Amino acid sequence: MTEPESPPSLDPLIHEAARLMIVSVLSECGSASFSFVLGATGLTRGNLSAHASKLIAAGYVEEKKRIVDRKPLTEYRLTDAGRTAFHQYRADWLRLTSGKNDKQFRDRLIR
């Protein structure tokens, strides 16, 4: 008898709501400035800095700082590892929320 397939586990680093938003926004861009991510996600500056630091430490996001017009400009870019992790996260999410668990999932949403 074959063992039942275990449900996929979601990457805890991306699973957090704010970080999921940051990674989702960066997945649509090559690179994006701090202000751009701030506007697209609706996070506060402090929140964005803190969560971006965690993603940078994990190697999912790359940060580039430079001076433009005598003001510091921070740019973020999703690394290849970050992009792969995000695709994996989405695939796991879709597997979790579809198929045989559909009814259970709908029940929980209704509750």
Partner 1 sequence: MTETSSEMPTPSEMRAFDEANRAAWRAARMREASRALVTGHIALYVCLPGICVFLGTHAPLLLLALLFGYLGLLSWAIRRIKRQRLKSHVKVTDRGEEELAAQRKSVRYVLGWTSYIVLCLIGWAVLRRHMSTAAHLASLAIFPLMCIGYFVYWAVRLALWEHFLFAACIPLAYLPILLYPGPPSPQSSLVLVLVLVIVSTASMVLVIVGAASLYHRWEVWSRSLDDLASEQAGEEAAS
**Chain-centre distance of CA 93, in angstroms?**
12
**Which residue in the set 1, 6, 65, 67 belongs to the binding site for partner 1 (CB under 8 A)?**
6
**Which residue in the set 59, 84, 97, 99 belongs to the binding site for partner 1 (CB under 8 A)?**
97
Amino acid identity, residue 2? T
Q: Which H helix or E strand runs over 23?
A: helix 17-27
Would you count residue 9 as binding partner 1 (CB under 8 A)?
A: yes
8 Å CB contact between 49 and 60 = no
Helix (H, G, I), strand (E, B) or coil at 2: coil
Would you count residue 93 as binding partner 1 (CB under 8 A)?
A: yes
> Which residues sit at the interface with partner 1, rule CB under 8 A?
6-10, 12, 15-17, 20-21, 23-25, 27-42, 44-46, 68-69, 71, 73, 75, 77, 93, 96-97, 101, 104-105, 108-109
